[in-house]
Chains A and B, each alone.
Chain A
Amino acid sequence: MTDLALDIVQQILNGFLFGSSYALVGIGFTMIFGVMDKLNLAFGVTALGGAYVALGVFHLSRGPFVLVFLTAVVASGLIGLVVEVTCFRWMPRDYPLAPLMATMGMLFFIDEVVSHATHGRPMAFPAPMGTAMLEVGPWLLRGDLGFMFLVALAVMGLLWLLVYRTRLGLATRAVSQQPVAAQLCGIALRRVNASVFVLTGMIGGVAGALIGSAVGNLSPLLSLPLTVKGLVTAVLGGLGSIPGAIVGGLLLGVVEYQALYFFGIGYRDMITYLMLFAFLVFRPGGLLGQRAGG
C-alpha cells in the first residue's frame, strides 16, 4: 500500500473516531428540535458547563474519573433543566425568536461565567486513557477517541431503548409528532420538555467529559466550536433525527479530516461549510430527516 493510501485510511479512521464527539453533541441539538421544534444554541455550552463542574469536583475530591464523568452527566442535566426553564418555559409563545435569542444569550452568559471563574485559562482535565495509542497494522488509533467512540455507541443504544421502549420515550415521540394531541391525551407537555432537556443535557455531559479527557484541557475556547459543529451535525443528519445526528457527526468528522489532509487548515472549514450549504440547498432535510425537501 502506498503512503498516500495509508494516510487516506488513517484520516478516515481518525474522522470516524473524532466524529463520534460531533455525533454526541449533534444528538442534543436534534432531540430538542425534534420535540420542541426549536433550536437550543446553549446546548454546546451546557456540555462544557457540566464538564467544568466535574473538573471542580475533581479538584476538590481528587476522585476517580468515574466520579468526574458522573458529575459531568448530572451537572449538565441540571444545566439543561435551567436552560429549559429560563430560555423556553418563561418565554412568550407568540415570539418564536425569543427562545432562540434567549439560548444565544445563555451561551454567552455561561461562557463568560466559565471565563471569569477560570480567568479564561485552559485547565487540565483528567485523561484516564493518557496518550495511549492502538496500533492496527500500519495505522494508529487514539485510545481516548476509540473509548469515546464506544461510549457514544453505548449512549446511542441506551437512547434508542429509552425512546422506543419506555413510557417517557413514547410521550416524547408523541409530543414531537403532535404536541396538541399529546396534551389532549393527558401527556404533561412541560414535564416531557423538561425531561428532554435533562436527558439531552446528560448526553451533553457525556460528550463534555469525553471531549475534555480527549483534549486534555478545558477552555472557554471550546464552547463556540462545540455549538457550531453540533448544529452542522444536526443539519447534515436531518434536524430531529437521532440516527441522522449519528451519521451526520461521523460524516462531518471524515470530511474534515480528509479536507485537512489534502487541502490544509485554510480550506478545512471552507469545505465543511460548502458541504453544509449544498445540503441546505439540495437536501434541506438532511441525510435521514423526515422533513427532507421541506
Chain B
Amino acid sequence: MTHPRRHLVSILVLAAFASALAWFPAAPALGQERTVKIAGLGAMSGVIRGFGINSKAVFDMTVDELNKAGGIKLADGSKARIVTTFVDERCNAEEGISVVRKLASEDWLVVIGPTCSNVAEPLFGILQQKVGAAGDSGLQFPIFTDTAIKPGLAKISEWAFRNVPHEPTMYNHLFKWLKEKHPDVRTMAGGVESDFAHSNSNAGTMEAAAKAAGLELLGWEKWLLTDTEFSTQVGKWRRSKPDLIAISSHPFTLCGTLREMKRQGVKPKVLVGLTSSATLETMVGCGPEAEGLIIPTGFAPVTPEAKRVAKVVTERYKGNVDIHSAAVFENLQVLKRVIETSGVEAKPGTVAQDRRRIRDGLAKIKEFDGLLGKVKRLDDRESQKPYVFAVAKTSDWAVLHDPR
C-alpha cells in the first residue's frame, strides 16, 4: 500500500508543479490586460432616480455582454476589456459638472449620460465649443447622451453627442396621423407639468404639432411636479369638452390627472401623452385609467433584439428598457464600433488622443443599427431615431401604429 501512495503523492506534486508552470507565463499577461474605460452618468438618487436605475441596468447588461464576447479590439489588434463606473448626477447641474470634471481628470475615455436636460445643458457648456479652437480651454471629453431629451442641446459643443428621440418629428407625425384617423377631432386642450424643463418644452412641441395638423387649441391647464389634486384643471376640461387632450407630464402627475378625469367623466375622443410617460411606471401607477393613452416612443419591444434586451435587463439586471434607457444599449454598441475603427490605443499615455479619436469617430458615423432599426446621425450630432406610436391597453403598452 505504501508504493501506490508514494506514487500518488509524486503524481500530485508533479501535477501541481506542471500547472504552476503552465500558469506562470500567463501571469505577466494578466498584468498587462488592456482596458477601455467608459463611464456612465445618471440620476441615481433623488426623486427621478428611476431613470438612472434603468440606464445603469442597461449599461451593466451591455458591458457584460460585450466583455463576454471578447471585449473591444484596439489599434494594435489586442482585445481590451471594458471597465466602467456609473456616477450620480442627482439631476443637479453642479453635481453633474463636478463629477464629469473628476472623470475628465482621470483616464476615462468617454461618458454616456446624463439623465436630466438641466444637467446636460450646463455640462455641455463646459466642454470645448469647437474642436481644436485655440484659446478655448473647455474640456476635451466626449459625452454621448442617452436620456436628456430637451431639443437641440448637442449644438452647444462639438464634443457633445446625443442619441435621444427627436420629439418634434414624432409629435408632428403623430398629430397628422391622428387627424387622418379621426377627422372628427377638431379641438384640443392641453395639460402641462409646468415646472419641469422637459414636460414644459414638450408642451410647445405638442401645441405646434396640433396646430400644424389643423386642430384648434382651447388652452393649457397647468400643474406642478409635486401636485396631487387636479380637480380644478380637469373641471375646466369638463366644461370645454375638447375632442383631444394632450398631457405633457411625467407618470406621477399624469396618473393623478387621469384618475381625476375618470372621476369627473372627462372622456376625450383621443388622449395623447408625453414620451417620458410611455413607461412601466405609468402602467404600475394607473394602468386602467391610462387605457387608450397614445404616446410616440423610440422604444418598444417589437424587434427580436429589442425583446431580448428588454427581457434580459428586466430579469437579470432589475431595470426596465424604455424610451430613454434603450439608448444606452445603442450608445455602447456605437462606441465599440468607433473605438475599433478609429485607432484607439487605450494606453496610459494616449488618453487625450483616444478621447479625440472617439469624438472624431462619433462625428463620422452617419447611421447605425438601433433596437428598432436604423438610427440616422445628423450634422448637429443629434439622432433621428425610428419610433412607433404606443397605446395603453389593458395595463400594458401595445403598438398602435408602426411607421418604420
Give A residues with C-beta under 8 Å from B.
Answer: 3, 7, 10-11, 14, 18, 112, 115-116, 119-124, 131-133, 140, 142, 211, 214-217, 219-222, 224-225, 257, 260-261, 264-266
B226 contact from A124, A216, A224, A257, Cβ within 8 A: A224
Smallest CB-CB A-B distances: 3 pairs = A120-B49, A265-B222, A131-B263
Using CB atoms and an 8 Å cutoff, list the residues of chain B in contact with chain A. 45-50, 53, 194, 222-229, 231-232, 235, 239, 251-252, 255-256, 259, 262-264, 281, 284-286, 289
With CB as the reference atom, state the residue of chain A lying closest to B281. Answer: A121
Write the nearest CB–CB distance from A24 to chain B, whole angstroms.
14
Pairs across A and B, CB under 8 Å, 25 listed: A10-B235, A115-B45, A115-B47, A119-B50, A120-B48, A120-B50, A121-B251, A121-B281, A122-B252, A122-B285, A123-B284, A124-B286, A131-B259, A131-B262, A131-B263, A133-B263, A133-B264, A216-B255, A216-B256, A216-B286, A219-B47, A219-B252, A225-B226, A261-B232, A266-B222
- Known contacts: A124-B286, A219-B47. The answer to whether A260 contacts B232 by CB under 8 A is yes
**CA–CA, A122 and B225, complex, Å:** 12
- Of B255, B264, B284, which contacts A140 at CB under 8 A? B264
Question: What residues on A are CB-neighbors of B255 within 8 Å?
Answer: 122, 216-217
Of B47, B223, B263, the contact of A221 (CB 8 Å cutoff): B47
User: Most chain-A Cβ atoms within 10 A of its Cβ — which of B46, B47, B264, B285?
Assistant: B47
Q: When the two chains form their complex, are residues A122 and B251 in contact, meaning their CB atoms are under 8 A apart?
A: yes
Do B262 and A115 touch (CB < 8 A)?
no
The chain A residue with its CB closest to the CB of B265 is A133
Which secondary structure dominates where chain A touches chain B? Answer: helix
Q: Is the CB of A222 within 8 A of B226?
A: yes
Set A123, A215, A264: member contacting B228, Cβ < 8 A: A215
Chain A residues near B49: list those with CB within 8 A: 115-116, 119-120
Chain B residues whose CB sits within 8 angstroms of the CB of A11 once the complex forms:
232
Bound Cα distance A153, B276 (Å):
40
- CB-based contact B263/A142 at 8 Å: yes
Q: A121-B281, A217-B252, A222-B228 are in contact. Are A265 and B50 (CB under 8 A)?
A: no
Identify which of A3, A265, A266 gathers the most chain B CB atoms within 10 Å of its CB.
Answer: A265
Most A-side CB within 10 Å, residue of B50, B222, B232? B232
Q: How far, in Å, is A182 (CB) from chain B's closest CB? A: 40
Shortest distance from the beta carbon of B49 to any chain A beta carbon, whole Å = 3
Q: Please name 9 further chain A to chain B contacts, defined as beta carbons within 8 Å, in addition to the given A120-B49, A219-B252, sorted by A numbering.
A: A10-B235, A121-B284, A123-B284, A133-B264, A140-B263, A221-B226, A221-B252, A224-B226, A265-B194
Bound CA span A261–B239, Å: 14
B232 touches A14 (CB 8 A): yes
Q: Find out whether the CB atom of B222 lies under 8 angstroms from the CB atom of A264.
A: yes
Residue of A120, A133, A142 with highest tally of chain B CB at under 10 A: A120
